[in-house]
């Protein structure tokens, strides 16, 4: 994404938020934009004849998304990126952005969904609330200092807060500390964790600029592979994540940051169940991909060996591993 395009997205955010009750963020529009670029390159049949560049198609997708948010167009794409308070949103409401969170009235009208934080009215002693399951009952947990700004994007402020509140041990969802710590986690959603799992690059194709390899490995010879965050990904979870990625995203960046540098063109969720169904055998389960590199500098780093592995980023609800 060019600086000009990014400035354009920021201007659209300001203009939209000034007149719409459903707020958007620059991060949302960047994701919509990147999906537009990916669609232009991977699904050319969907592109209108008068569109001449991926950037033009991406910005058209952003404009369509904003019309959906404002209510002037039916929701037919990117529902998972719509503000949580939007009626057609399929994203979890447990987001960090206070402007995105629904109000308490909206949550009440939605029959008090669990684990979905909401904004409390001005003048309340706490900033946020959330309904959780406490045994056989539903409990309302309130949390957050209404006078404190959540500066989770400031590494020092985030580290200080999490240290003061011992956030690494905050696991009780019925406690205010749990939800406050989630608000101060690095990332964009409450109750979800960002994963970063590296996989080895096995082969590259100079002519087509394709890189083949494991984007993720989840088992080796029947034993679960524990990733760098100490987590285990189950095969059915991997398949769902891969399917969603290929349907809605496909784009890739260098070290999860900056502009798009390529796109996933081939994808195989290599699980024992899927392999068996097509007559394959493997000692490893995981996600095999072929990634097409567009960026010249990134391709040079691949050839030099500076970039020698894939790294996937995503969100997952964490739970206890039961060994199955």
The percent helix, strand, coil of the chain (3-state, each to 5) is 35, 25, 40
Number of domains in the chain: 3
User: Could you tell me if residue 230 is inside a domain?
Assistant: yes
Residue 302 has pLDDT above 80, yes or no: no
Out of 9-18, 94-103, 291-300, the most confident range is: 9-18
User: Could you tell me if residue 86 is inside a domain?
Assistant: no
Boundary residue ending a domain (183, 212, 239): 183
The structure tokens listed for 33 are 């934009």
User: Could you tell me if residue 322 is inside a domain?
Assistant: no
Strand partners, 285: 219
Q: Do both 110 and 152 map to the same domain?
A: yes
Q: Do both 171 and 206 map to the same domain?
A: no
Q: Do both 202 and 265 map to the same domain?
A: yes
- What is the reported pLDDT for 91? 60
Residues 204-211 have a mean pLDDT of 81
Q: Which domain holds residue 51?
A: 3-81
Q: Do both 24 and 56 map to the same domain?
A: yes
Q: Do both 263 and 209 map to the same domain?
A: yes
Out of 76-90, 150-164, 277-291, the most confident range is: 277-291
User: Could you tell me if residue 227 is inside a domain?
Assistant: yes
Q: Do both 305 and 205 map to the same domain?
A: yes
Q: Do both 312 and 200 map to the same domain?
A: yes
The three-class DSSP label of residue 34 is: helix
Q: What is the DSSP letter of 167?
A: G
Percent of the chain with pLDDT over 90: 13
Boundary residue ending a domain (81, 116, 136): 81
Boundary residue ending a domain (183, 205, 236): 183
Q: Do both 170 and 206 map to the same domain?
A: no
Strand partners, 290: 212, 266
Residues 213-235 have a mean pLDDT of 72
Q: Do both 284 and 200 map to the same domain?
A: yes
- What is the reported pLDDT for 190? 34
Q: What is the pLDDT of residues 114-146, one digit of tens each?
A: 777 888 888 899 988 888 888 888 899 999 888
Q: Do both 179 and 198 map to the same domain?
A: no
Residue 212 has pLDDT above 70, yes or no: yes
**Which helix (DSSP H) or strand (DSSP E) does residue 313 occupy?**
strand 309-316
Which residues, in sequence order, are CB contacts of 79 under 8 Å at separation 6+? Answer: 88, 89, 90, 91
Which residues, in sequence order, are CB contacts of 76 under 8 Å at separation 6+? Answer: 68
Q: Do both 261 and 209 map to the same domain?
A: yes
Could you count the other beta carbons within 10 Å of the beta carbon of residue 244? 12
Q: Do both 108 and 68 map to the same domain?
A: no
Residues 235-264 have a mean pLDDT of 78
- What is the reported pLDDT for 274? 93
């Amino acid at each position: 994404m060019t600086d000009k395009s990014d400035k354009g997205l920021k201007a659209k955010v300001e203009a939209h938020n000034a007149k719409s009750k459903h707020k958007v963020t620059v991060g949302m529009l960047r994701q919509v934009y990147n999906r537009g670029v990916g669609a232009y390159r991977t699904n050319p049949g969907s592109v209108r004849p008068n569109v001449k560049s991926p950037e033009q198609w991406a910005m058209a997708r952003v404009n369509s998304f904003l019309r959906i948010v404002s209510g002037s167009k039916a929701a037919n794409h990117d529902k998972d990126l719509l503000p949580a308070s939007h009626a057609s949103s399929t994203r979890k409401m447990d987001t960090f952005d206070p402007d995105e969170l629904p109000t308490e009235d909206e949550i009440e009208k939605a029959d008090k969904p669990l684990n979905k934080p909401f904004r409390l009215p001005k003048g309340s002693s706490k900033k946020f609330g959330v309904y959780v399951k406490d045994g056989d009952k539903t409990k309302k947990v309130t949390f957050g200092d209404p006078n404190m700004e959540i500066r989770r994007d400031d590494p020092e402020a985030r580290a200080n807060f999490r240290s003061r509140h011992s956030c690494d041990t905050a696991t009780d969802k019925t406690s205010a500390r749990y939800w406050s710590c989630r608000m101060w986690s690095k990332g964009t959603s409450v109750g979800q964790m960002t994963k970063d799992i590296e996989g080895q690059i096995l082969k590259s194709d100079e002519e087509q600029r394709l890189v083949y390899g494991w984007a993720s490995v989840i088992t080796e010879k029947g034993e679960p592979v524990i990733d760098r965050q100490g987590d285990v990904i189950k095969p059915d979870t991997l398949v769902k994540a891969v399917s969603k990625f290929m349907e809605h995203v496909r784009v890739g960046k260098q070290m999860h940051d900056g502009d798009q540098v390529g796109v996933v063109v081939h994808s195989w969720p290599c699980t024992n169940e899927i392999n068996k169904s097509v007559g394959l055998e493997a000692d490893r389960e995981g996600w095999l991909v072929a990634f097409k590199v567009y960026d010249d500098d990134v391709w040079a780093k691949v050839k030099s060996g500076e970039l020698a592995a894939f790294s996937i980023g995503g969100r997952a609800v964490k739970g206890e591993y039961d060994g199955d």
